[in-house]
Amino acid sequence: MPITMPTAAVEGVQLTVTPFRPDAVIGTMGLPTLLQLVPSPKAEEDKRALKYASGALRRHAEVRGLVQRMLKASQKGKNVTAYAAYIAAGVNGDHGSAWSTPPITLWLDGQPGAVSEELIPGSGIRTITVLPGSPVVAIDGETQVTAWHELYDAPERFGVTYERLGTVRVPFELYFGLSVEDARQIFYDRNVEGVPVAKNLAMSMDQRDIGTQLAHRVADTVKVEHEGRIVPFAKLVQARKRQLTRTDPELVTLSALRVLVITTLYGKRGLERSSSTVREDDLLVLGIDAERAERELVPLLSTLISHLYPHFAAREAISAPAVLAGIGIAAHRATSWTTEAGRLNEGELLRLLAQVRWEREARYWDGVAASANARGVLNFGGGAKDSGGRVADALLHPDTEYGRRIRGW
């Protein structure tokens, strides 16, 4: 008597998801599931290893190549190890709650093998099954996927354990049934259409950055009289934008204040560091630690801002990043760790700054921190790196051409 075969059941990776359009869903999955679905991009670019890989992996590499760029010899590839270290620190709890990785955007080349009915009526929550061997490619977030593979392949290298990684849930969105052309378009849209955050602004949001920490500390320390009330200077610092407009009630941006801090720490070397994260270990080159930096910089810069506050309140040139960079370079000579010739004490520094004409006028600042158009209107758009050094030289050397210009001599 023949045996009746069982009813066909769809086998594969089952995901619990919520649809947000007919061909796309969102959800979370365990890290091992992600790594099973999406092979390591780094491994797929190893031609020698790929030669002996399974047919499924070779096909996946071919599909990936249609919609993704190469990791090798790109900034994307160089970021993988640093990203893995960041994620490991987050998984270990080193960052507390202040860390995040964005949802990974996946594309399934084809359709799910099965889609269930709603698990809870009216919720939209369902399960979908991805068939074995169906190529799933990260069209956005591939650096993150590669970093997760690095972590899982060698967790001890990053100070994390398999047990911790086994508890990780990774958020994702999954598109399916799209053509290669549509997947490419999503890749383009995600990488080009969005407006990138200016790096200086991004730095000013990094609460683990020494420059940002000290900028906040200085702003909180200084008290000024504004519109008849004594308020912390922090109330007048714009933390969300890189540039101020005439209608903004704030007087300076946090990113500009951070430039002042970084150049005071490093002198002219700070111009190059102004758009890079500064960690506590980065202070070792100065022979100091974060505690000493705060102990000296907060009172020094608080005094400078208090003395110069009328010029901030009048919205003069002093709030421009290039000008604050120059002031910071000059203030560096009043720190105990400076190695530059011509050291200054606080009184000498204040006397140098007191000579300056801070009004936003071409006769003082054209060619130094700004450029003037035919009508004499100044543009300070050059930034700290372009003009900070000239401003510092003009502040420190009154008898030079620029030194005389900014003093109106």
* Residues 120-163 pLDDT 10s: 999 999 999 999 989 999 999 999 999 999 999 999 999 999 99
Mean residue pLDDT of the chain comes to 90
Q: Up-side HSE of residue 130: CA atoms within 13 Å toward CB?
A: 25
Give which of 347, 386, 342 is closest to 367, Cα–Cα.
Answer: 386
- Work out the average pLDDT over 275-295: 91
Please tell me the predicted confidence (pLDDT) of residue 206: 75
pLDDT tens for 202-259 read 666 677 889 999 999 999 999 999 888 999 999 999 887 778 888 889 999 999 999 9
Q: Which residue ranges make up each domain of the chain?
A: 13-194, 201-407
Query: What is the arithmetic mean of pLDDT over 46-51?
Result: 80
pLDDT of residue 145: 95
Q: How confident is the model at residue 78 (pLDDT cuts 50, 70, 90)?
A: confident
How much is the pLDDT for 56? 83
- For the ranges 53-67, 238-252, 316-330, the one whose mean pLDDT is highest: 316-330
Q: What's the average model confidence in pLDDT over 96-120?
A: 93
- pLDDT on residue 359: 95
Give CA separation, 37 vs 73, 91, 129, 209, 222, in Å.
25, 21, 11, 36, 54
Task: Name the band, by pLDDT with cuts 50, 70 and 90, for residue 351.
Answer: very high
Structure confidence at residue 198 (pLDDT):
64
Give the up-direction half-sphere exposure of residue 67: CA atoms within 13 A in the CB hemisphere: 28
> What is the percent of the chain where pLDDT is above 70?
95
pLDDT class of 74 with cuts at 50, 70, 90: low
Mean pLDDT of 96-119: 93
* pLDDT score for 48: 81
**Predicted confidence (pLDDT) at residue 200 exceeds the cutoff of 60:** no
Residues 6+ apart with CB under 8 A from 337: 286, 287, 288, 292
Provide the pLDDT for residue 5: 66
Two tokens at 145?
Answer: 């996927």
Tell me the average pLDDT across 321-326. Answer: 95
- HEC profile of the chain: CCCCCCCCCCCCEEEEEEEEECCEEEEEEEHHHHHHHCCCHHHHCCHHHHHCCCHHHHHHHHHHHHHCCCCCCCHHHHCHHHHHHHHHHHHCCCCCCCCCCCCEEEEECCCCCEECCCCCCCCCCEEEEECCCCCEEEEECHHHHHHHHHHHHCHHHHCCCHHHHCCCEEEEEEEECCCHHHHHHHHHHHHHHCCCCCHHHHHHHCCCCHHHHHHHHHHHHCEEEECCEEEEHHHHEECCCCCCCCCCCCCEEHHHHHHHHHHHHHHHHHHHHCCCCCCHHHHHHHCCCHHHHHHHHHHHHHHHHHHHHHHHHCCCHHHCHHHHHHHHHHHHCCCCCCCCCCCCCHHHHHHHHHCCCCCCCHHHHECCCEEECCCCCEECCCHHHHHHHHHHHHHHCCCCHHHHHHHCC
Flag the least confident range among 76-85, 140-149, 320-329: 76-85
Predicted confidence (pLDDT) at residue 174 exceeds the cutoff of 60: yes
**pLDDT, mean of residues 369-373:** 87
Task: With a cut of 80, say whether residue 27 has pLDDT above it.
Answer: yes
